Each structure stands twice: as C-alpha cells, then as structure tokens.
C-alpha cells in the first residue's frame, strides 16, 4: 500500500450501495474504478455515470482498496475465483457487511488488511445526504491489520462516502453481523411485517373495512417511525395524543410480552450459533425454492392488494425521494451482483 490519503479504490458491484459509494468517493477526490462482469445489468449505468468499468479480475489488480459490494451469497465464489488471485499484495479488502468473514465463508489472504464500513441507511440515502453536505452514520471494523494502517484505511473510506461527517462508531465483524441480522429479523423486516399483517388481519376478521385497517396498521406506521427517527420514543410521546399514549403504555405489553422476548432471544441465539447462516447458505445452494415460496406468499398477502389500490390515489408518492429510486435493500448493502 502506497498511501493512506487518497488510495486507489475499486468498487466491485454497482447496486444501491455500490453506486452511492462510487459516486461519493469520486466526488471526494478518489480514483475509483468499478468492477463488473461484461454485459451485466449495471455496466451501462456505471459507464453512463462516467466510471471506468473493467472486469472484476482486472479491476482489482491495481487497487489499494477493494470494496466488495455484491450480494452476500455470491461473495465467497467471487472472492475465491476472482479477487484472491488478483488483488495486490498488501492491499485492503473492504466489506459493507461482515456475514461471510464472520461465518467463515471467506478467509482472506493473510497479507491483506481486512476492514468493514457499513452505512446505516440505503444507498439512495447515502448519496442524497452526501450531496447536501451531510452523511449517513456508519460503523466500521478491522478484522485483519497486516499493514498497521487498517483502521486508517477504513476511516479514510468512511470519510470518502460521507459517513465520517457523523460519528463513525468502531465495532467488530461479529457485532456488526449479529446485530444487523437480529435487527432485520426480529424488528425491522420480519417483526414489523408480521406485526402489520397480524394487526390488519385482526381488524378485517372482526368485520372492519380492509381499507380502514390498512390505514391504521400500515399507512400510519410511517408517521410513528419518522418520529422515532427524529427523536426516539421521547419525540413520539410529544406528538401523539394522550389517549394514544395511554393505550400504548397499557396495551403495548399485551403484544410484546415475555413470550415475544423469549422468541427474540431464540432469534438471536440462532444468529450467534450459526444456525441461521447455515440455513440460509444451504437454502441458496439448493436453489432458493423455500425462500421464493415464502416471499411470494408475502407478496400475495391480501393487504398488498388493498394497499396497491389505495396508493394509486396517493399522488405525492410518485414525487417522493423514496420513489425516485427503488429502495433496494436498505438493510442489506450488497444489492446487485458484479
């Protein structure tokens, strides 16, 4: 490695996070190359954005930092067949999620620095906040520090994408991976989705209009989440009625009770002991039949048809920042294959 000020960077993958990282780093003065397979769906987009695009094997050869921003499940093969044979001696290998390193799917070469930089937001937000002079908070970690400068490289990259404009928090690959998976499964994606669906079903089964139930259990959830985002539970209490507060304080524990907490602990245990990782790796290797079936059932839930009809009349959605770009995997930084 020749420099820690403006190292040459290759971004492998150009999905939601990959594009945002590449654009932000270039605007921060870095020499950025994008590694993509020829003819892939994102090659045209990267070239249109003005980047030098090379096949991944060629792109990583001259890089001082190689950022792997492809989906988790394609990374082991990509690393073994393309990156490891071509990445320069002593270069820095960077991930946006610790899954493969933490669960032993990738064992990086011993001469490499190995770090993690994970923005806590989707790529569209990472780009938008950078453009207006702010940044999405990020966490970073060092797994392997061969050069003695691994933390510096992580923080340099973090600053380049705008993450260091906020308070970048040092973590570990273990902590980032396990907390990220838990948040997705128990609260943000799995927990929230099932809570919304169960609430809607409860009202509809009791004879209430599906459209009214949609507004109460799904649509208005954004209002509460925005308050959480801006100022935590404290801000929510400042803006909801006393009736809503009393109902939340007295009836919330009906829903999230000791059994719910026990189930959350089970989710966490299966993340910590590798059960979830083994299941997901096996599912992917077998062709994803169960995953596709379960996802399709989610997409075909009756609340989706009701919501589609109601949202057709919400003209403001077509001009919102979130609608301008697909919200591709806010919680999974690697969203497009190389």
pLDDT score of 319:
59
Q: Which of 97, 143, 219, 237 is catalytic?
A: 97
Please state, in angstroms and rounded to a whole number, the distance separating the CA atoms of residues 82 and 151.
Answer: 25
Per the annotation, does 201 bind a ligand? no
Tell whether 220 is in a known binding site: yes
Q: Using an 8 Å Cβ cutoff, are 52 and 29 in contact?
A: no
Are the CB atoms for 117 and 135 separated by under 8 Å?
no
d(CA 260, CA 266) in angstroms, rounded, equals 10
**If we measure between CA atoms, which residue out of 70, 93, 94, 63 comes closest to residue 16?**
70
> Does the annotation flag 180 for ligand binding?
yes
Confirm whether 301 is a catalytic residue.
no
Q: Which domains occur in the chain, in start order?
A: 9-171 (3.40.50.720), 188-256+288-317 (no CATH)
**CB of 165 closer than 8 Å to CB of 196:** no
Angle in degrees, 0-180, between the axes of helices 173-182 and 258-272, rounded to the nearest 10: 140
Q: Is position 42 annotated in a ligand binding site? A: yes
Structure tokens at 56: 């991944």
Asked whether residue 151 is marked as a ligand-binding residue, the answer is no
Q: How do 113-119 and 92-95 pair as beta strands? A: parallel
The pLDDT assigned to 282 comes to 98
Q: Which residue has the tokens 């096996």?
A: 282
Q: What pLDDT is attached to residue 126? A: 96
Beta carbons of 21 and 69 less than 8 angstroms apart: yes
Tokens 């002593």 locate to 90
CB 15 within 8 A of CB 127: no
**Residue 123 annotated as lining a ligand binding site:** yes
Q: Which of 53, 62, 115 is nearest to 88 (CA)?
A: 62
pLDDT of res. 266: 98
Q: Give the side-chain half-sphere CA count within 13 A for 134.
A: 7
- What stretches in the chain show pLDDT beneath 70? 1-4, 319-338
DSSP string, 249-315: HHHHHHHS-HHHHHHHHHHHHHHHTSHHHHHHHHHHHTTSHHHHHHHHHHHTSHHHHHHHHHHTT-G
pLDDT value of position 167: 79
* C-alpha dihedral, 15 to 30 to 54 to 77, nearest 10°: -60
> Tens digit of pLDDT for each residue in 279-335?
999 999 999 999 999 999 999 999 999 999 999 999 888 754 444 443 333 333 333
Phi-psi region of 276 (alpha: psi -120 to 50; beta: other; left: phi over 0): alpha
Total residues belonging to the chain: 338
Alpha carbons 103 and 233: distance in angstroms, whole number: 34
Sheet-wide strand order for 169-170? 52-54, 32-35, 9-12, 65-68, 92-95, 113-119, 138-144, 169-170
Q: Is the pTM for the entire model greater than 0.85?
A: yes
Measured between alpha carbons, how far is 138 from 156 in angstroms, rounded to an integer?
Answer: 12
Beta bridge partners of 69: none
């Amino acid at each position: 490695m020749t420099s820690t000020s403006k190292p040459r960077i290759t971004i492998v993958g150009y999905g939601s996070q990959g594009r945002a990282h590449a654009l932000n780093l270039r605007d921060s003065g870095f020499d950025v190359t994008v590694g993509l397979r020829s003819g892939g769906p994102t090659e045209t987009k990267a070239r249109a954005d003005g980047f030098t695009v090379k096949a991944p094997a060629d792109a990583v050869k001259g890089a001082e930092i190689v950022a792997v921003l492809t989906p988790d499940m394609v990374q082991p093969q990509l690393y073994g067949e393309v990156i490891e044979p071509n990445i320069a001696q002593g270069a820095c290998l960077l991930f946006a999620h610790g899954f493969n390193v933490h669960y032993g799917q990738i064992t990086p070469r011993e001469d490499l620095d190995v770090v993690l930089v994970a923005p806590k937001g989707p790529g569209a937000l990472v780009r938008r906040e950078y453009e207006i002079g702010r940044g999405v908070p990020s966490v970073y970690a060092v797994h392997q520090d061969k050069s003695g400068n691994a933390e510096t490289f992580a923080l340099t990259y973090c600053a380049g994408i705008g993450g260091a404009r906020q308070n970048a928090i040092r973590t570990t690959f273990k902590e980032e991976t396990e907390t990220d998976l838990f948040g997705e499964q128990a609260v943000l994606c799995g927990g929230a989705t099932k809570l919304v669906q169960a609430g809607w079903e409860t009202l509809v089964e009791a004879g209430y209009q599906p459209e009214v139930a949609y507004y109460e259990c799904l649509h208005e959830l954004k209002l509460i989440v925005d308050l959480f985002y801006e100022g935590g539970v404290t801000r929510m209490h400042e803006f909801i009625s006393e009736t809503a507060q009393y109902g939340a304080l007295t009836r919330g524990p009906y829903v999230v009770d000791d059994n719910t907490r026990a189930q959350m602990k089970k989710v966490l245990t299966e993340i910590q002991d590798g059960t979830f990782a083994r299941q997901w790796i096996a599912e992917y290797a077998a062709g994803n039949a169960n995953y596709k079936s379960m996802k399709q059932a989610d997409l075909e839930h009756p609340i989706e048809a009701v919501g589609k009809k109601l949202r057709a009349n919400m003209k403001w959605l077509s001009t919102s920042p979130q609608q301008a770009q697909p919200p591709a995997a806010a919680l999974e930084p690697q969203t497009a294959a190389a």
